[in-house]
Amino acid sequence: MDSQAAIAILRANEAALRSRGVRHAALFGSIARGEGHSGSDLDVMIDIDTEVVRDVYDYVGVTGFIADLFPIRVDVANRDGLKDRIRERAERDALVAF
């Protein structure tokens, strides 16, 4: 999967994602950098609305919903939960969907 296809999927599902508490979504990692290969997973960084995503069960629901959108393995990361060094690199690589 390439980054443009992944971004298109996220954008096509923006309303559903926002209703589940996703404020922003972006790709990062190897696919975002154009370095993905057939075994690459898709890394998605999200910002969440804590008024909607109130607990771990809500968060797992959101990440599962995102993962189910794609035919490959997906790792979803909450931007606020990333360690500083990783967040800096993720933000540098980020391709914003919304």
Looking at every residue in the chain, the average pLDDT score rounds to 96
pLDDT for position 90? 95
* Domain regions of the chain by residue span: 3-96
Q: What is the pLDDT of residue 17?
A: 99
Return the pLDDT at 13. 99
Contacts 24+ apart (CB under 8 A), 72-77: 72/1, 72/40, 72/41, 72/42, 73/41, 73/42, 74/41, 74/42, 74/43, 74/44, 75/29, 75/41, 75/42, 75/43, 75/44, 76/44, 76/45, 76/46, 77/28, 77/43, 77/44, 77/45, 77/46
pLDDT in tens, 17-58: 999 999 999 999 999 999 999 899 999 999 999 999 999 999
Identify the CATH class of 3-96.
alpha beta
Which pLDDT score, from 0 to 100, does residue 38 have?
Answer: 87
